[in-house]
Amino acid sequence: MSPARIAVVTTGGTIDSLGTDRLDLAAYLETGNRLEPGALLGSVPELASIADVTEVPFRRLRAHAMTDGDLADLQDLVVALFAAGGADGVVITHGTNTLEETAWLLHLTVATDRPVVVTGAMRPASGLSADGPLNLLAAVRTAASDAAAGLGTLVVLDDTIHGARDVTKAGTIRVDAFADGGAGSLGRIDGDGRVVLAHRPARATSLRGAFAGVDLRGLPRVDVVVSYQGADGVLVDAAVAAGAQGLVSAGTGAGYPTPGEVEALERATAAGVAVCQASRVGSGRVPIVPALVARGWVSTDDLQAWKARILLRLALAAGTTDQAALQRLFDAD
């Protein structure tokens, strides 16, 4: 059989960053130095034994500098790679700070059964025991595997396969930084190179590619407001004044904003702003309690606030504003 054709799109991040020396594992981004184009793939010649790999350059950015325009261009590129028939799978190297957001956006907007795998690194390319090369190898193995077909966008780091909906960066520096809340990872890549899928994702499978026709360059403004003791409604009111068409409230506990925030959110609802209630807690659902329904708000279920923002933006852009219809999207299997 012919080897799988895997396109590797390089967008920058820690994986191709260069620090001042091998022990610079924290301040390396400040140097602004990166590997030359082609050097990352060139450092892993073993890729040739796994797949027919082609590097596809993209502008290289810090993950937290990604704009709507960058994400729209990236999504266009991924769609074009599949449409041209030249790729059986796409791997994207990406900075880890917002990697989960890009993965979730691609899951929602790329309509294909072929794998899209996002990977990165927690240590720079110049660092002692850099993890980027092995992460890249594992990502290509996953993208070339039949087991990855039909799962939507995946995230692969530290020999672990994560689903785009549930994965989050749960640590700032260590190589085992990514976790999946209460859902657990989907599988792993073992030392012998075998891709072991423990289970298939059960949530958001119906949303894979559901927003493929939405123009990512014209998405409505949606802001996230995080609750804390004593918070008033100033940030909520400011977001509405800035033109927000949607708000995600990251409340305390099981989704509880302060009384001052509740008043401001109710004003926002009255003004036609869509409000989704999330939690600032790392895992667990926001129950659909009677007060939530009465206020016209939507529960994000257990979707993290920053991912809820992405789904709400896409839904509003697609013309979905009804409370019940929005709730069905957040509850989707």
Catalytic residue annotation = 14
Q: What is the DSSP letter of 148?
A: G
**Quick one: which of 239, 250, 254, 263 has its CA closest to 308?**
250
| Secondary element (H or E) of residue 247 | strand 246-251
**Quick one: which of 44, 178, 51 has its CA closest to 103?**
178
Angle of helix 68-83 relative to helix 99-109, nearest 10 degrees, comes to 50
**Quick one: which of 185, 208, 238 has its CA closest to 311?**
208
- What residues does 160 pair with on adjacent strands? 157, 188
**Quick one: which of 211, 145, 128 has its CA closest to 156?**
145
Residue 289 makes CB contacts below 8 A (sequence gap 6+) with none
User: CA 121: distance to chain centroid?
Assistant: 15
